[in-house]
C-alpha cells in the first residue's frame, strides 16, 4: 500500500531541500508532464534533482501545489526564469512583468542585480545595465546610494557609465565609504580599482592624490601606456550633439557629432509607432530629449527606427524616472523676478524639464518671473509640466540655467545662489536672431559653450561662459543626395541637441557602415 502511495508521488530535490507532490498535480506543468510520459530515469525513480534559487523555487512550488504565489522583488526575476524553464503559462510571467515594472525602484537594485543574466526573461543584464549607466549620476545623488552593500557599489562602478568625468566615480565611492567609515574603509582599496585613471584629467588626478582617505588606503593608481590602455572605454566620451533633419514620408536623418562637432554617424531612420516606450530598453536604444526638455525621441540604432513621445507619454516617462530614482522627494521651488512690473504677473501654461548632470529641473518662465523647482517632486510634474505656446527656450550647463525669451532676452540663472541672474547682451547677433528660427543647447557639464543654431542657415553661434564672449562656430553643410525622381533631398532641421549614446551603439553603427 505504501509502495503504491509512493509511486503516485514525485520527490523533487532542489539544492538542499526536498519536496513531495502528487504526480497528478505536477503533470499540469509541461516540463514534468513530458518527463513522466517519456519514461525517463526520473519517472522510474520518482525523483528529480534541480538547481534553482531556493526562495523562487519555493514560490513556484506553492503556485503549482496550492495555486497561490507571493511575488517579491528579491525573487520575481528568478520566478520567471523557473516558470519559463518549466513551460508554465505565460499568464504568470505576464503578472510578474506587471509587478516588476509597477514597483521597480533603485532601492531594489541590490536584490535585482544578482538575479539577472544575459538571457533572463523579465529583464536581462544588458537592459538593466543600460538603465544604470544612463542614470548613474542621478542614482548616486540619492540617499539610497549610501546604503547599498559593497557588492552593488562594485557592480555599478565597473559598468560603462555615462559620466562627464572619472572623478565622479571616485567621488561617489568616497561618499559611500565615508558615510560609514569604520566599517567600510577596508573596501576602499578594491573599489578604487574601478576608477579608470587613464581617462582622468591631470587636475582631477592631482585632486584625488591629495585626498586623505586615498593616501591612507595605500593604493597607487597605475596609468596604462597611451598606445595600450587596458582600462576599458573612455566613459566620459558618451555625450554627443545630435542633429535631426525631417525628410519626406516621416523619415528622419540623424547625425551624431562629437564634442568638437566632428561627424560620427549620418543615417536615415524610419518612424515606427510600435516601438515600446517602457523606461527600460535595450543597449542599442537611446532616448534623446530636445526642445528644452519638452519633447523626446526614442531611437533604435539596430533597427534604424524611431518613435516620438507625445506630451502624455513624455510626462509618464518623467514620472516613472522620478518614481524609480527620486521617489517622493521634498519639493524645493525658487522664484525670481526678472522684469519690473506694476501689475499682476502673467502666467504661461508652458514649462520645461531640463536634465542636469545630477538631477532634473522643472522650470517655467512667465512674463515677469522665472521659476525653478530645484527638487522636482512627482506631484510637481503632475501639476506643472504642461505644454503650450513656446515663449522661451532653456538649457543647463554646470550650475547655471540659460534662458532665451521670445523677446530675445538672454538670462543666466545661478542655481546655487537662489537663481541670482545676469542679463546677457546678444551684441551683434541681436538683429540676426529670430526666436522662432533658433535652437538652444549645451552640454550638461564640463564645457564653456552655450550654443545657438539658426534652423534655416544652420549657422552655429556660441556664447563662451568663461570669457563672456560671443563667437561664430561655423555652418553645418549637408551633402545633398538625390531621391528616385532626381530631385535633391529636402530636409528641415528639427533639432540640434545634446544627448547620451552608449559606446556600444556608436560602435554598432560604425561597424554596420563598413559593411554597407
Q: Write down the mean pLDDT value for the chain.
A: 91
| Predicted local distance difference test score (pLDDT) of residue 334 | 83
| Predicted local distance difference test score (pLDDT) of residue 481 | 57
> Coil, strand or helix: which one is 227?
coil
What percent of the chain lies above the pLDDT cut of 70? 94
Residue 7, pLDDT above cutoff 80: no
**If you ran DSSP here, which 8-state letter would residue 130 be given?**
H
| Predicted local distance difference test score (pLDDT) of residue 516 | 74
| Predicted local distance difference test score (pLDDT) of residue 491 | 79
CA-to-CA dists, residue 314 to 122, 305, 320, angstroms: 24, 18, 10
Take residue 163 and report the three cell numbers written for it: 559620466
- Residue range 282-294: mean pLDDT, rounded: 95
Q: Report residue 333's pLDDT band, with 50, 70 and 90 as the boundaries.
A: confident
pLDDT tens digits along 475-492? 988 776 555 444 456 678
Residue 261, pLDDT above cutoff 60: yes
**476 vs 4: which has the higher pLDDT:** 476
| Predicted local distance difference test score (pLDDT) of residue 344 | 47
**If you ran DSSP here, which 8-state letter would residue 33 be given?**
H
pLDDT tens digits along 196-238? 999 999 999 999 999 998 988 888 888 887 777 778 899 999 9
| Predicted local distance difference test score (pLDDT) of residue 84 | 93
Residue 342, pLDDT above cutoff 50: no
Q: Report residue 40's pLDDT band, with 50, 70 and 90 as the boundaries.
A: confident
- 106 Cβ contact partners less than 8 Å away, ≥ 6 residues apart: 139, 142, 144, 324, 325
Q: Please classify residue 367 by burial: count the beta carbons closer than 10 Å to its beta carbon, then call 0-12 exposed, 13-18 middle and 19+ buried.
A: middle
pLDDT tens digits along 168-178? 999 999 999 99
| Predicted local distance difference test score (pLDDT) of residue 14 | 96
| Predicted local distance difference test score (pLDDT) of residue 471 | 93
Q: Report residue 431's pLDDT band, with 50, 70 and 90 as the boundaries.
A: confident
Residue 372, pLDDT above cutoff 90: yes
Same fold, 2-112 and 135-217: no
The residues spanned by each domain of the chain are 2-112, 135-217, 238-515
Residue 77, pLDDT above cutoff 90: yes
| Predicted local distance difference test score (pLDDT) of residue 343 | 47
pLDDT tens digits along 101-117? 999 999 999 999 999 99
| Predicted local distance difference test score (pLDDT) of residue 432 | 87
Short-list 233, 167, 224, 157, CA closest to 200: 167
CATH of domain 2-112: 3.30.710.10
Residue 438, pLDDT above cutoff 50: yes
- pTM for this prediction: 0.92
CATH of domain 135-217: 1.25.40.420
What percent of the chain lies above the pLDDT cut of 90? 76
Backbone angles phi, psi at 74, to 5 degrees: -75, 0
Match 500500500 to its residue by C-alpha cell: 1
pLDDT tens digits along 128-186? 999 999 999 999 999 999 999 999 999 999 999 999 999 999 999 999 999 999 999 99
Amino acid at each position: 500500500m505504501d509502495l503504491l502511495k509512493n509511486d503516485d508521488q514525485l520527490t523533487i530535490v532542489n539544492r538542499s531541500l526536498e519536496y513531495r507532490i502528487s504526480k497528478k498535480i505536477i503533470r499540469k506543468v509541461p516540463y514534468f508532464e513530458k518527463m513522466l510520459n517519456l519514461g525517463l530515469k526520473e519517472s522510474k525513480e520518482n525523483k528529480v534533482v534541480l538547481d534553482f534559487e531556493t526562495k523562487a523555487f519555493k514560490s513556484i512550488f506553492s503556485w503549482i501545489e496550492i495555486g497561490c504565489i507571493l511575488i517579491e522583488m528579491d525573487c520575481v526575476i528568478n520566478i520567471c526564469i523557473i516558470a519559463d524553464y518549466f513551460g508554465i503559462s505565460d499568464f504568470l510571467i505576464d503578472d510578474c512583468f506587471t509587478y516588476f515594472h509597477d514597483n521597480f525602484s533603485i532601492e531594489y537594485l541590490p536584490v535585482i542585480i544578482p538575479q539577472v543574466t544575459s538571457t533572463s526573461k523579465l529583464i536581462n543584464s544588458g537592459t538593466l545595465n543600460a538603465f544604470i549607466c544612463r542614470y548613474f549620476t542621478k542614482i548616486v545623488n540619492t540617499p539610497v546610494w549610501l546604503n547599498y552593500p559593497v557588492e552593488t557599489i562594485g557592480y555599478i562602478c565597473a559598468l560603462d557609465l555615462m559620466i562627464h568625468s572619472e572623478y565622479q566615480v571616485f567621488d561617489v565611492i568616497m561618499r559611500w565609504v565615508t558615510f560609514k567609515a569604520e566599517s567600510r574603509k577596508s573596501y576602499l582599496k578594491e573599489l578604487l580599482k574601478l576608477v579608470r585613471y587613464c581617462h582622468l584629467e591631470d587636475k582631477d588626478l592631482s585632486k584625488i592624490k591629495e585626498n586623505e582617505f586615498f593616501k591612507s588606503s595605500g593604493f597607487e593608481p597605475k596609468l596604462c601606456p597611451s598606445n595600450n590602455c587596458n582600462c576599458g572605454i573612455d566613459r566620459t566620451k558618451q555625450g554627443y550633439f545630435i542633429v535631426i533633419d525631417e525628410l519626406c514620408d516621416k523619415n528622419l536623418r540623424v547625425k551624431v557629432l562629437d564634442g568638437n562637432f566632428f561627424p560620427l554617424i549620418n543615417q536615415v531612420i524610419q518612424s515606427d509607432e510600435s516601438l515600446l516606450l517602457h523606461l527600460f530598453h535595450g543597449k542599442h536604444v537611446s532616448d534623446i530629449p530636445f526642445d528644452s526638455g519638452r519633447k523626446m525621441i526614442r531611437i533604435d540604432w539596430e533597427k534604424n527606427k524611431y518613435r516620438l513621445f507625445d506630451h502624455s507619454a513624455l510626462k509618464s516617462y518623467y514620472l516613472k524616472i522620478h518614481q524609480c530614482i527620486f521617489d517622493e522627494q521634498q519639493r524645493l521651488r525658487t522664484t525670481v523676478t526678472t522684469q519690473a512690473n506694476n501689475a499682476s504677473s502673467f502666467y504661461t501654461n508652458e514649462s520645461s524639464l531640463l536634465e542636469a548632470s545630477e538631477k532634473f529641473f522643472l522650470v517655467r518662465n512667465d512674463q515677469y518671473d522665472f521659476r525653478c523647482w530645484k527638487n522636482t517632486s512627482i506631484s510637481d510634474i503632475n501639476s506643472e509640466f504642461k505644454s503650450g505656446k513656446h515663449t522661451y527656450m532653456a538649457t543647463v550647463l554646470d550650475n547655471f540655467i540659460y534662458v532665451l525669451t521670445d523677446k530675445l532676452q538672454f538670462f543666466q540663472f545661478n542655481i546655487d545662489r537662489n537663481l541670482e541672474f545676469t542679463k546677457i547682451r546678444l551684441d551683434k547677433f541681436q538683429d540676426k536672431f529670430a526666436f522662432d528660427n533658433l535652437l538652444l543647447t549645451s552640454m550638461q557639464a564640463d564645457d564653456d559653450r552655450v550654443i545657438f543654431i539658426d534652423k534655416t542657415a544652420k549657422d552655429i553661434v556660441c556664447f563662451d561662459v568663461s570669457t563672456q564672449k560671443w563667437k561664430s562656430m561655423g555652418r553645418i553643410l549637408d551633402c545633398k543626395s538625390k531621391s528616385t525622381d532626381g530631385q535633391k533631398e529636402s530636409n528641415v532641421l528639427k533639432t540640434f541637441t545634446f544627448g547620451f549614446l552608449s559606446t556600444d551603439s556608436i560602435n554598432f553603427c560604425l561597424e554596420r557602415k563598413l559593411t554597407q
